[in-house]
């Protein structure tokens, strides 16, 4: 039986034509008009003044944290239930990540979670919009302003998600998107930094390009990275960005079908379809195995895998990562993160998922539960 990957991208003739045009015209590096065009279009789409295209979301986080000028010993509050890139960017800057817990209902970190972990050394917070939803941002942003804390917004999983009718990616002092193959808008690998401050944007561009000094080529007073995006990647992303509303509608259709199928099953907890301030964009469809379900995550993942259906576990909490503990992160108990990390996984959710394959996944999950609970 044909496998159903956890992610299948949806790319069309317009993307193919744009990439082939780059090849025909010889734009195979970061030179040419495409990257700048992509940056402008991305910034406009998310209500920002400046866009800086980079080679990955991880690269964007590295640059964003460094650009803020944090010092050794400074602390950055960051949700623990996220990819390690968020913490590694903080560590690489010389600062210290301080992980915070999250809400059991929507899996995001809200104001009270950040407040519980603040110290006199806190200088910034990192917002991470997880799995298609975001926290209630207004009180969080007001609290950060009152405290004089910089706000780094990781919107990698929030393409097309609005908070109170404003796009996620428009809220941080600096915001970062991933454009990896499983994202709503993808360049295969890639990322985008957004901000409104022209000096901050220029700093990001310098860090992206090895900190060359424009007036003195190959002379460096600071170390940066080669984190450039190629013209072909930008060309791949431009047509998708132009049809972002269409892509979001498809994501929501996939999410609603799963939600309708599983929301009433007591063996599972699923994320809400909406909160008072946002409608789920269902970047992926996550499921958490309920206590007393009669089976474990490992059980159902193995059964689906045997049928060729791909899954992924939820992130491991940052506060449990050996690499970060070796860097001196203090041991802490974050019980909600630990429970979600142990019991959560997500189903095939890519834009290329067909209705037929989704019905197959839904049927396989239901058949498994029925067999284990009859």
Contact 170, 163 (CB under 8 A): no
User: How much is the pLDDT for 217?
Assistant: 85
Q: Does the pLDDT value for residue 132 go beyond 90?
A: yes
pLDDT above 70 covers a percentage of the chain that reads: 100
How far apart are alpha carbons 109 and 102 in whole angstroms? 4
pLDDT mean over 89-103: 97
pTM: 0.97
CB half-sphere exposure, 248, CA atoms < 13 A = 16
Each domain of the chain, given as residue ranges in start order, spans: 13-242, 245-373
Instruction: Please identify which residue in the block is written with the tokens 């067909």.
Output: 354
Q: Does the pLDDT value for residue 124 go beyond 90?
A: yes
User: How much is the pLDDT for 204?
Assistant: 98
How far apart are alpha carbons 304 and 309 in whole angstroms? 5
User: How much is the pLDDT for 362?
Assistant: 98
Task: Kindly state the helix (H) or strand (E) to which residue 45 belongs, with its residue range.
Answer: helix 34-45
List the Cα angle 353/359/360 in 5-degree steps: 90
**pLDDT band at 37, cuts 50/70/90?**
very high
Candidates 66, 159, 183, 297; catalytic one: 183
Q: For domain 13-242, which CATH number applies: 3.40.640.10, 3.40.50.300, 3.55.50.30, 3.40.710.10? A: 3.40.640.10
How far apart are alpha carbons 198 and 128 in whole angstroms? 24
Which CATH code fits 245-373? 3.90.1150.10
* Residue 170, token pair as written in the block: 């428009």
How far apart are alpha carbons 300 and 174 in whole angstroms? 39
Q: Does the pLDDT value for residue 149 go beyond 90?
A: yes
**pLDDT band at 359, cuts 50/70/90?**
very high
User: How much is the pLDDT for 328?
Assistant: 84
How far apart are the two ends of the chain, measured CA to CA in Å?
A: 26
pLDDT mean over 85-89: 98
User: How much is the pLDDT for 216?
Assistant: 86
Average pLDDT of the chain?
A: 97
User: How much is the pLDDT for 286?
Assistant: 98
Residue 114: CB atoms within 10 Å: 25
User: How much is the pLDDT for 329?
Assistant: 86
Question: What pLDDT, in 10s, does the model give residues 171-211?
Answer: 999 999 999 999 999 999 999 999 999 999 999 999 999 99
- Which class for 291: exposed (0-12), middle (13-18), buried (19 or more C-beta within 10 A)? exposed
Per-residue burial over 4-33, b if 16 or more Cβ lie within 10 Å, else e, is: bebbbbebeeebeebbeebeeeebeebebe
Q: Does the pLDDT value for residue 301 go beyond 90?
A: yes
* Residue 10, token pair as written in the block: 């949806």
pLDDT mean over 255-266: 98
Question: What pLDDT, in 10s, does the model give residues 214-247?
Answer: 888 899 999 999 999 999 999 999 999 999 999 9
Q: Does the pLDDT value for residue 256 go beyond 80?
A: yes
**pLDDT band at 1, cuts 50/70/90?**
confident
Mark whether 251 is an active-site residue.
no
User: How much is the pLDDT for 374?
Assistant: 75
User: How much is the pLDDT for 178?
Assistant: 98
User: How much is the pLDDT for 78?
Assistant: 98
How far apart are alpha carbons 178 and 235 in whole angstroms? 16
User: How much is the pLDDT for 42?
Assistant: 98
User: How much is the pLDDT for 315?
Assistant: 98
């Amino acid at each position: 039986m044909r496998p159903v990957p956890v992610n299948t991208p949806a790319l069309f003739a317009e993307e193919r034509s744009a990439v082939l045009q780059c090849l025909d015209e010889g734009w195979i590096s970061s030179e040419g008009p495409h990257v700048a065009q992509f940056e402008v279009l991305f910034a406009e789409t998310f209500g920002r003044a400046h866009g800086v295209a980079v080679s990955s979301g991880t690269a964007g986080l590295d640059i964003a944290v460094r650009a803020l000028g944090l010092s050794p010993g400074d602390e950055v509050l960051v949700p623990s239930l996220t990819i390690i890139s968020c913490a590694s960017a903080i560590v690489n800057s010389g600062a210290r990540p301080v992980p915070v817990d999250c809400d059991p209902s929507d899996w995001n970190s809200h104001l009270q979670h950040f407040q519980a972990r603040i110290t006199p050394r806190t200088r910034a917070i990192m917002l991470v919009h997880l799995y298609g939803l975001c926290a209630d941002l207004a009180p969080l942003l007001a609290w950060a302003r009152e405290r004089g804390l910089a706000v780094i917004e990781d919107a990698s999983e929030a393409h097309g998600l609005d908070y109170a009718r404003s796009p996620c990616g428009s809220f941080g002092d600096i915001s970062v998107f991933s454009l990896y193959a499983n994202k709503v808008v993808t360049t295969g690998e890639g990322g985008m930094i957004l901000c409104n401050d022209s000096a901050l944007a220029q700093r990001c561009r310098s860090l992206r390009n090895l900190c060359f000094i424009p007036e003195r080529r190959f002379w460096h007073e600071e170390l940066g990275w080669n984190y450039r995006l190629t013209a072909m990647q930008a060309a791949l992303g431009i047509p998708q960005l132009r049809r972002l509303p269409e892509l979001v509608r498809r994501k929501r259709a996939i999410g609603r079908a799963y939600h309708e199928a599983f929301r009433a099953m007591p063996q599972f907890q699923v994320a809400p379809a909406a909160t008072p301030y946002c409608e789920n964009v269902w970047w992926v469809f996550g499921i958490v195995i309920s206590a007393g379900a009669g089976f474990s995550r490992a059980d159902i993942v193995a059964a689906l895998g045997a049928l060729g259906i791909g899954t992924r576990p939820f992130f491991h909490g940052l506060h449990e990562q050996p690499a970060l503990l070796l860097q001196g992160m203090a041991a802490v108990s974050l019980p909600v993160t630990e429970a979600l990390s142990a019991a959560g996984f997500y189903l095939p959710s890519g834009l290329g998922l067909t209705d037929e394959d989704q019905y197959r996944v839904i049927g396989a999950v239901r058949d498994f539960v029925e067999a284990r609970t009859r």
